[in-house]
Amino acid sequence: MTPDGIVAPVYSGKRGHPVGFGQKFFRGLLELEGGVGARHLLQESGSSVVTVEVTDKGVLKDVDTPDDLAMV
């Protein structure tokens, strides 16, 4: 991955987690507050996003907290 790239797993046409962000996005990620995700960074980056098709549907689960993990 390059410093200005983003890599995201995809399962059955759906983007999953975790998403890897290059160094260029560090400041934007630090500025996120509360439950706001980085979706806007992905949308604004367009062609910088590289997707990788995976065979594990577990990538569709978004786990941010211990409570999220308990629900998986």
Rounded mean pLDDT, 36-55: 85
Domains along the chain with CATH numbers: 6-70 (3.90.550.10)
Question: 49-53 and 6-11: which strand pairing?
Answer: parallel
Residues 6+ apart with CB under 8 A from 40: none
Where is pLDDT greater, at 5 or 64? 5
pLDDT of residue 6: 93
Kindly report the pTM of this predicted structure.
0.77
Mean residue pLDDT across the chain: 87
What's residue 41's pLDDT? Answer: 85
Kindly report, residue by residue over 29-41, the tens digit of the pLDDT: 998 887 678 888 8
Indicate whether 60 pLDDT > 80: yes
